[in-house]
Amino acid sequence: MTEQTYCDRLVQDTPFLMGHGSLSEQQVDRIILQLNRYYPQILSNKDAEKFRNPKASLRVRLCDLLGHLQQSGERDCREFYRALYIHAQPLHSRLPSRLALQNSDCTELDSGTVGRELSDRDPKVLRGARRVLGFSPIIVDRHVSRFLLAFLTDDLGRL
């Protein structure tokens, strides 16, 4: 399967993000402020003021912002997704592009590892699986990440 870029994902997710009630005005403002404050090369002060203009409707401002990011490039789209994750995590997890990625990952895992489990007690354990998990960029809820990191650091002495 070909890797989908963040710009491709943004194009796919735009109708969902533009949907009625997807993002509140406060969430859009927070995303704009984060992109402007932490990454002024992505959104200049002038751009941020334009996208936060209270005279324009939220839908128009969001449409302009998404169009601007799509034209700006891959890094800008990636930072938008990072800001979206921080300020609207429940919405981020329901994005069509994320659901498509999760479904494709599950089918690839199901077809490639039939009959294998990640368990210390199972003799068919995949050797080095913890090593792969330890260095994979996994986005998980902060409560789950604590347990995952504890699990992985427990085993790092044996690597």
Q: Is the pLDDT of residue 111 over 50?
A: no
pLDDT in tens, 18-53: 887 689 999 999 999 999 999 899 999 999 999 999
User: Per DSSP, which regions of 17-126 are E strands?
Assistant: none
3-state secondary structure of 39: coil
Q: Which domains does the chain have, with CATH numbers?
A: 6-105 (1.10.533.10)
Q: Give yes or no for a contact between 77 and 7, defined as CB atoms under 8 angstroms apart.
A: yes
Instruction: Check: CB of residue 84 under 8 Å from CB of residue 64.
Output: no
- Which long-range contacts does 123-132 make (Cβ < 8 Å, 24+ apart)? 130/155, 130/159, 131/159
User: pLDDT at residue 126 above 90?
Assistant: no
Residue 144's pLDDT is what? 53
Q: pLDDT tens, 55-84? A: 999 999 999 999 999 999 999 999 999 999
Residue of 103, 124, 121, 123 lying closest to 113 (CA atoms): 124
**What is the pLDDT at residue 19?**
85
User: CB of 43 within 8 A of CB of 32?
Assistant: yes
